[in-house]
Structure 1
Amino acid sequence: MADPKGFMSTPRQEWPRRPVVERVRDWDEVYVPGALLPIVSAQANRCMDCGVPFCHDACPLGNLIPEWNELVARSDWRAASERLHATNNFPEFTGRLCPAPCEAGCVLAINQPAVTIKNVEWAIAERAWEEGFVPPRPPDRLSGKTVAVIGSGPTGLAAAQQLTRAGHTVAVYEKDDRIGGLLRYGIPEFKMEKRFLDRRLEQMRAEGTRFRTSTAVGRDVPAPELRSRYDAVVVATGATAWRELPVPGRELAGVHQAMEYLPPANRVCAGDLEANPLSAAGRHVVIVGGGDTGADCLGTAVREGAASVTQLDIYARPGGERDAEAEPWPTYPKLYRLSGAHEEAGELRTAPAADADARLFAASTLRFTGDGRGRVKELHVVEVDEGRQPVPGTERVLPADLVLLALGFSGPDRADGLIGQLGLETEPRGTLARDGEFGTNVPGVFAAGDAARGQSLVVWAIAEGRAVAAAVDRYLMGESWLEAPISPHDRPMAV
């Protein structure tokens, strides 16, 4: 460690956000430009370099956190970048989007605020690009083997980059018009500006990875035909089959899935559309679902100028401190957290009747009612107990002329025909079945990411991509030097 007493003398300090009244007027990222570097070295100095760094186990990538913390504290940015990129293909994504289970596993977090690992990671990634520490790394020679990767989210991109660097000829197939999957059209611009994604894609193109956009395998290209053209196929299509809300009034106009709302908003930022056809401007918006996707809808609706926005969370409001018995260290605790979107909604009072910021906790939707012309007008909600059962006498009515369902995803979408055409077996919960080497029941076809694991975090998606790449490399070459940070059956630390 650079300073043995750094964690005792330096308090935790996070990258400050821009004022709410300023940032809701644009789609730029919410943090104050240039305000991280002046504080990040001192924050990295808080790392204890503890005997058993549980941050490693809390991160599925096995990031070498104490090592690059010390290097940042010593201002050795090149070496820090090398250690960071040794385990993570896309730290600029995880530094922005991951909820940082590594910080929950920080030994310092037992009785003090954790090291700001996520901010340090973000700073290393950006400094690496500024200083030219991440040039393209094309392979020295080609293997003569070809691989098709279906899906261009973080899993598909990580797998493609690893396999390309191993010498295989890799083509990534994406059904949308641009590469990136949910990174492109699901994550709002204020959480990750797409120029950072485009920057990484240019690196991958320079390394030799090929991209095929506007190509839905199973519809535009028959899946068996694709399989016959490549030595191996990786299915990394994500879990895009959204969960429904089967309550009376669901058929009313104005009730939409979150992923029908967020992609057009991103296309507006990209210049493809003048306005979101589902714009929240001047409307009373209710978001059903308390997770990250719901928060993304919240921040988007605020920026579009909604008349009001309320977010429903079926869980009770969590506390501000870890419950040492129910969620002991180093597991990731369920705490009351204030995202940038919730901070904005709270300060602007978008939902005066909410419990906190824009959220109603322990709330379940009973039904929707319309305006007599087939359009949603109201949402009826009721308080629920710990067993999610309605509490008598707690029903209330919220104005709602735009309802967004953000209830998560159940598995890969079958609409394109990919799963059926290849004859891939699935698990009872709808995800793709696979063996201990990421292989499906079809020889040469592998499954990775949310399509097989189920809905998860970006850091797990990248770990899956790196691990499936190693499995494919072994399948093609008999052995592999590629790192496999996880197995298909690994799960986050839990009680």
Structure 2
Amino acid sequence: MGKPTGFLEYKRMDNSSCAPEERIKNFNEFHPPLSPEERRLQGARCMNCGVPFCQSALQLKGMVTGCPLHNLIPEWNDEVFHGNYSQALSRLRKTSSFPEFTGRVCPALCEKACVCGMHDDPVTIRDNELFIIETVFAEGNMKPRIPAVRTDKKVAVVGSGPAGLAAADQLGQRGHHVTVFEREDRVGGLLMYGIPNMKLDKSIVQRRVDLMTAEGIEFVTGANIGADIPAQKLLEEYDAVVLCCGSKRARDLNGEGRQAEGIYFAVDFLTRATKHLLDGTPWVSAKGKKVIIVGGGDTGNDCVGTCIRQGCASVTQIEMMPKAPDERTPSNPWPEWPKICKTDYGQEEAIYCFGHDPRIYETTIKEFLTDDKNQLTGVKTVKLAFKDGKMTEVEGSEQILEADLLLIAAGFTGCESYVSDAFQLDLTPRGVAATAPSSYRTNTEKVFAAGDMHRGQSLVVWAIAEGRECAREVDEYLMGYTNM
């Protein structure tokens, strides 16, 4: 504990945020960091609690609070306060594979469980984490870690999202020969094409890929396992196969007119937007269009921010659920995950551009309206109400909303069947790879699954945690024991 009275003396200071009128002009990241001295004082606010809930990952009332990676948060906060950034990174690396990713896109489950947050603002744990890794990169101290000893074991990792990268990183550091197969043209999976550039600059992803390549990990892009490359080829050539293909089967909408032109799944829309920024590939542009986004989660918010940067004429975000309260209710005390309304960057920008929050709650789409060329012109919506635990339509609440572009961000229903079929996997009712409890081993010999393909649609931090744990089980399978 660097400064016993730090939490009493210093107030929370987040990384600053560029004003909406400036940041919507481009797709750049927009959170300039604090100065090193300011960041030191934020590290001093950590109380080094006897029971650090921040790193606990407790499950309370069906939701997790605290870090799924069990990061040694008080330890590296102390090192930040003392200016020992290399030592801070050493403690951070023990549990976290990619702090430069979680420091940007994680919703900070750790902060929601911070003891300081019981009666004051929690410690800026996520910003402190990002400061550590970016400082070490800037100082040139992030060097490739080449394993001193290599085994004769070969592992194929299918999918290069956060789970795949984490599994590959751990197995590579163990000394195994790891090849990562990615069906897209660039490595990174969700990190590259599912998260917009303003949240996670793609040079940050490539920087990590370059480092892993220098450490001996082989990456193969344009490799669609189960389609262009038979699953049997991997089973014959590798000692273990780790499937980290995500939960990419998008949940669709039903209703008359669904086949209209101008309707896209959100991830496809975001992928094309990022490809356009990287290499000029044509994108689906919202410029001058009235946009409707179905879904109120992070992906829906990312679509709002992207459409505004493209120059949309308006944007409306439709959510089926009621609006959450603005503050914790007595039935939702600390350290439970706070079930409160979050106004994210996309909504902030919509409020600036159009003068109101873009979200409409307790609403769904009944019908898609089209012109004689089958081009989307609008939607018919209806209000919803919960009665006796069931969602029902409110009679007489139909409304017509104009729309030229509609994006579906309604979640996902499981992994893509061509991959699970190729490896003959048993699936759970959620449509993901079935394993024994607390295991990542599938019903197919030497095949493992991790990340969204194993747990279902979730957070980047959970994908990394799953990739690391899966790697440990793979190592034990290969070697008969593990020291990971």
- Give the TM-score, by structure 1 length: 0.93
Equivalent-residue separation in structure 2 for 1:460 and 1:2 (angstroms): 30
- Report the CA distance between 1:49 and its aligned residue: 1.2
Q: Per-residue displacement from partner, 1:411-467 (whole Å, max 9, x unpaired)?
A: 1112xx332122111112211011243111111111111001000111000000100
Equivalent of residue 391 in structure 2, options 367, 375, 388: 388
- Report the CA distance between 1:9 and its aligned residue: 2.2
- Report the CA distance between 1:110 and its aligned residue: 1.7
1:488 equivalent in structure 2: none
> Aligned pair in 2 of structure 1 residues 80, 385: CA closer, same or farther (>3 Å)?
same
2:330 equivalent in structure 1: 324
- Are 1:137 and 2:136 an aligned pair? no
Higher mean C-alpha displacement, 463-472 vs 315-324: 315-324
Equivalent-residue separation in structure 1 for 2:272 and 2:312 (angstroms): 16
Aligned residue type for 2:3: D
- Are 1:372 and 2:372 an aligned pair? yes
Aligned residue type for 2:428: E
- Report the CA distance between 1:407 and its aligned residue: 0.6
Give the 4+ runs in structure 1 shifted more than 6 A.
none
Provide the identity percentage: 43
Equivalent-residue separation in structure 2 for 1:261 and 1:112 (angstroms): 40
1:116 equivalent in structure 2: 124
- Report the CA distance between 1:283 and its aligned residue: 0.4
2:59 equivalent in structure 1: none
1:443 equivalent in structure 2: 445
Q: Per-residue displacement from partner, 1:372-407 (whole Å, max 9, x unpaired)?
A: 321111122222224432233433221111000001
> Aligned pair in 2 of structure 1 residues 63, 266: CA closer, same or farther (>3 Å)?
same
1:50 equivalent in structure 2: 49
Equivalent-residue separation in structure 2 for 1:188 and 1:37 (angstroms): 27
SS in 2 for 1:410: coil
Higher mean C-alpha displacement, 244-253 vs 200-209: 244-253
2:257 equivalent in structure 1: 249
SS in 2 for 1:409: coil
Checking the alignment, whether the CA contact within 8 Å between 1:36 and 1:123 is kept in structure 2 is no
2:19 equivalent in structure 1: 19
1:98 equivalent in structure 2: 106
Q: Per-residue displacement from partner, 1:309-354 (whole Å, max 9, x unpaired)?
A: 11112222212222231x33222122122222111111111xx5xx
SS in 1 for 2:272: helix
Equivalent of residue 337 in structure 1, options 338, 342, 345: 342
- Are 1:348 and 2:353 an aligned pair? yes
Checking the alignment, whether the CA contact within 8 Å between 1:222 and 1:421 is kept in structure 2 is yes
Equivalent-residue separation in structure 1 for 2:166 and 2:372 (angstroms): 50
SS in 2 for 1:411: coil
2:400 equivalent in structure 1: 397
Equivalent of residue 416 in structure 2, options 413, 418, 426: 413
1:31 equivalent in structure 2: 31
- Are 1:10 and 2:15 an aligned pair? no
Equivalent-residue separation in structure 2 for 1:19 and 1:395 (angstroms): 37
Equivalent of residue 236 in structure 1, options 239, 244, 249: 244
- Report the CA distance between 1:39 and its aligned residue: 2.5
2:305 equivalent in structure 1: 299
2:268 equivalent in structure 1: 260
Which sections of structure 2, spanning at least 5 residues, go unmatched?
A: 57-65
- Report the CA distance between 1:272 and its aligned residue: 3.6
Equivalent-residue separation in structure 2 for 1:173 and 1:238 (angstroms): 13
- Report the CA distance between 1:128 and its aligned residue: 1.4
- Report the CA distance between 1:303 and its aligned residue: 0.3
Aligned residue type for 2:47: M
- Report the CA distance between 1:38 and its aligned residue: 4.7
SS in 2 for 1:452: helix
2:216 equivalent in structure 1: 208
- Give the TM-score, by structure 2 length: 0.95
Higher mean C-alpha displacement, 154-163 vs 75-84: 75-84
- Report the CA distance between 1:113 and its aligned residue: 1.5
- Are 1:431 and 2:439 an aligned pair? no
Aligned residue type for 2:19: P
- The count of corresponding residues between Structure 1 and Structure 2 is 471
